[in-house]
């Protein structure tokens, strides 16, 4: 019945998702403020239409949060669905094969910014809810909280969570914003890394200089920044910031062994990415490096002349965006402060350095023993015919820690994306099959959870 309904409504489901994907809800870019709001309004409309009692657009200091609920019986268990309707910036635009905000289907995949992260994924929940309502299958309460600032650090979510503490009361959080191992092997993410994101600026002279007249005598901020960035890792790929590893949760040999049992083919991985070699912290496997170890990456760098041809300038400034992925027990604010102190301490006297924190978030580990996890496991078994493997993802969803701390709730990360979906990259995609089977699996989750 559920499967048949999904099949016969497939085109409408996709059309509705495409409408959302056409809205460039880039939260990082203030020029898209109106688009972000318009997206929130469409999400609100869809939740209402699916059958929620009470739906509202909650204003924040930034972009609004969509809240909606269907309480069938206060005595019954409650699921709080979290998702985000904002997306990453689409650039570099020239690398998109079809426009970032014109969803295009190729080989069974929807190509668009936000297709997987997270419009395609949170929208599965609204459609699953529609099905439960239509077929009178809803056996627990459902609440939705779809925010618009996940990609810029969810700055206004903590305040909202505090204000709405009563309304947000639930028994579990359910989020689809992670990836499966593959369509052949379902998995549930049980660990997420945290994040500390900073921007640095190195200034030498008070103006751009002619590199011939001053080169060799006045510090070049690009060369200096390069040296500073280079020094942030040692020869074993470890981050050199003093204290960086102090609180890192080390896994037991057994835990590491279990983690490395997840299906993973290094050659396929390298081939798919077009790289000759992987890299990273010595003594750890690729799955460990991205799952349980903290890291430091430059996400952007710029300075001097970057246009066509040649300009012999000794620039005044050079900048970089640097993010650190954190693991359980590392505190984002502490790590950011460690970074700041260290980065300033390694600057030569020839330059001045500015460090601006962007945002951060705690790592999270979710239990595999909860009723909600068990319901998710059963849902996969029922729909996929396979038991999902618990995995640790390298990405960050800081709200998982926030929910635990503020609401005392554990989260189930029931994601249906794939690593090959190119999140945050040009040509982001989401499989139509993933979208449809995701809806079906979520419906099954409620069946088991509400029992």
368 to 397, contacts with a copy of itself by CB under 8 A? 393-396
Q: Do 386 and 392 touch, CB atoms closer than 8 A?
A: no
CA distance 104 to 228: 42
Site for a copy of itself in 82-141 (CB under 8 A): 88-89, 91-92, 95
Cβ within 8 Å of residue 143, ≥6 positions away:
67, 68, 69, 70, 78, 79, 80, 81, 167, 168, 170
- Complex with a copy of itself: residue 208 or 381, whichever CB lies closer: 208
Contact 155, 357 (CB under 8 A): no
Name beta bridge partners: 200. Answer: 320, 355
295 interacts with a copy of itself by CB under 8 A: yes
Q: Is 375 exposed, middle or buried (0-12, 13-18, 19+ CB in 10 A)?
A: buried
Q: Which is nearer to a copy of itself, 50 or 224 (CB)?
A: 224
What is the total residue count of the chain? Answer: 451
Distance of CA 423 to the CA centre of its chain: 8
| Number of residues near a copy of itself (by CB under 8 A) | 102
Q: In whole angstroms, what is the distance from residue 372 CA to residue 81 CA? A: 12
Residue 188, CA distances (Å) to 36, 42, 116, 185 in order? 30, 29, 16, 10
Q: Decide: is 340 part of the binding site for a copy of itself (CB under 8 A).
A: no
Of 24, 77, 114, 153, which one interacts with a copy of itself (CB under 8 A)? 153
Q: Smallest gap, in angstroms, from Cβ of residue 6 to a copy of itself?
A: 28
CA 141, 146, 150, 154 torsion-angle sign:
negative
Which is nearer to a copy of itself, 166 or 277 (by Cβ)? 277
Q: Binding to a copy of itself by residue 204, rule CB under 8 A?
A: yes
Q: How many CA atoms lie within 13 A of 283 on its CB side?
A: 8
Q: Which is nearer to a copy of itself, 377 or 393 (CB)?
A: 393
Q: Choose which of 297, 368, 386, 451 interacts with a copy of itself (CB under 8 A).
A: 297
Q: How far is the CB of 86 from a copy of itself (least distance, A)?
A: 11
355 binds a copy of itself (CB under 8 A): no
Please select the residue that binds a copy of itself; options are 63, 127, 325, 392, rule is CB under 8 A.
325
Nearer to a copy of itself among residue 89 and residue 158 (C-beta): 89
Calculate ∠ Cα 271-105-91, nearest 5°. 65
Residue among 76, 255, 302, 333 that touches a copy of itself (CB under 8 A): 302
**Of residues 268-287, which lie at the interface with a copy of itself (CB under 8 A)?**
273-281, 286
**Is 223 a binder of a copy of itself (CB under 8 A)?**
yes
Q: By CB under 8 A, tell whether 155 contacts a copy of itself.
A: no
Of residues 68 and 186, the one with the C-beta less far from a copy of itself: 186
For the four alpha carbons of 254, 259, 262 and 264, in that order, the dihedral sign comes to negative
| Window 224-253: contact mask with a copy of itself (x via CB under 8 A) | -xxx-xxxxx--------------------
**Binding letters toward a copy of itself, positions 172-191, x by CB under 8 A:** -------x------------
* Closest approach of a copy of itself to the CB of residue 447, in Å: 31
Find the binder of a copy of itself among 318, 353, 355, 412 (CB under 8 A).
318
Q: In the bound complex, what is the minimum distance in angstroms from residue 8's beta carbon to a copy of itself?
A: 35
* CA separation for the pair 309, 44 (Å, rounded): 49
Candidates 178, 195, 193, 194; CA nearest to 389 is 178
The CA distance from 277 to 436, in Å, is: 36
Q: Is 280 exposed, middle or buried (0-12, 13-18, 19+ CB in 10 A)?
A: middle
For the CB of residue 186, give the shortest distance to a copy of itself in the complex, in Å.
17
**Under 8 Å between Cβ of 64 and 86:** no
> At its nearest, how many Å lie between a copy of itself and the CB of residue 393?
7
- DSSP letter for 31, please: G
> Which CB atom, from 216 or from 385, has the smaller least distance to a copy of itself?
216
Q: Does 61 bind a copy of itself (CB under 8 A)?
A: no
Give me the phi and psi of 163, to 5 degrees please.
-60, -40
Name the one range near a copy of itself by CB under 8 A: 57-65, 66-74, 202-210, 243-251: 202-210
Q: CA distances (Å), 127 to each of 12, 132, 178, 187, 276, in order?
A: 10, 9, 18, 22, 42
Interface with a copy of itself includes 158 (CB under 8 A)? no
Of 321, 341, 354, 371, the one binding a copy of itself by CB under 8 A: 321
For position 216 contacting a copy of itself by CB under 8 A, the verdict is yes
Span 395-434, contacts to a copy of itself by CB under 8 A: 395-396, 419, 422-427
* Residue 317 bridge partners (DSSP): 203
* By the rule CB under 8 A, 212 interacts with a copy of itself: yes
Return the SS3 of 174.
strand
Considering the rule CB under 8 A, would residue 217 count as an interface residue with a copy of itself?
yes
How many other C-beta atoms can be found within 10 angstroms of the C-beta atom of residue 247? 15
């Amino acid at each position: 019945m559920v499967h048949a309904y999904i099949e016969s409504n497939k085109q409408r489901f996709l059309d509705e998702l495409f409408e959302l994907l056409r809205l460039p809800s880039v939260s990082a870019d203030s020029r898209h403020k109106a688009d972000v709001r318009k997206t929130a309004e469409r999400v609100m409309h869809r939740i209402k239409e699916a059958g929620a009692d009470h739906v509202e657009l909650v204003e924040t200091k930034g972009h609004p949060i969509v809240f909606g609920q269907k309480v069938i019986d206060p005595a019954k268990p409650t699921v709080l669905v979290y998702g985000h309707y904002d997306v990453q910036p689409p650039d570099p635009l020239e690398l998109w094969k079809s426009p970032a905000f014109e969803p295009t289907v190729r080989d069974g995949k929807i190509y668009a910014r936000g297709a997987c992260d997270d419009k395609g994924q949170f929208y599965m929940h609204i459609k699953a809810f529609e099905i439960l309502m239509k077929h009178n299958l809803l056996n627990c309460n459902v609440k939705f909280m779809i925010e618009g600032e996940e990609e810029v650090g969810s700055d206004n979510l903590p305040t909202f969570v505090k204000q709405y503490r009563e309304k947000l009361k639930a028994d579990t959080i359910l989020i689809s914003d992670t990836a499966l191992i593959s369509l052949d092997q379902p998995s549930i993410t049980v660990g997420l890394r945290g994040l500390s994101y900073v921007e640095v600026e190195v200034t030498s002279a008070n103006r751009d200089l002619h590199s011939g007249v001053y080169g060799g005598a006045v510090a070049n901020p690009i060369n200096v920044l390069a040296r500073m960035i280079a020094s942030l890792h040692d020869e074993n790929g470890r981050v050199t910031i003093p204290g960086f590893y102090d609180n890192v949760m080390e896994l037991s040999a057994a835990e590491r062994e279990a983690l490395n049992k997840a299906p993973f083919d290094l050659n396929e991985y390298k081939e798919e990415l077009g790289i000759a070699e992987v890299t990273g912290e010595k003594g750890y496997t690729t799955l460990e490096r991205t799952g349980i170890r903290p890291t430091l990456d430059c996400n952007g760098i710029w300075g001097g002349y970057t246009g066509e041809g040649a300009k012999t300038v000794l620039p005044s400034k050079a900048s970089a965006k640097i993010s650190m992925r954190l693991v359980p027990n590392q505190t984002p604010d502490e790590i950011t402060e460690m970074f700041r102190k260290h980065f300033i301490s390694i600057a030569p006297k020839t330059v001045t350095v500015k460090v601006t924190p962007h945002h951060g978030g705690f790592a999270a580990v979710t239990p595999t023993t909860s009723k909600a996890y068990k319901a998710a496991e059963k849902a996969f078994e029922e729909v996929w015919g396979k038991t999902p493997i618990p995995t640790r993802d390298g990405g960050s969803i800081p709200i998982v820690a926030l929910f635990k701390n503020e609401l005392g709730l554990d989260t189930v990360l029931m994601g249906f994306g794939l690593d090959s979906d190119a999140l945050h990259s040009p040509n982001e995609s989401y499989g139509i099959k993933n979208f449809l089977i995701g809806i079906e699996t979520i419906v099954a989750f409620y069946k088991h959870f509400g029992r």
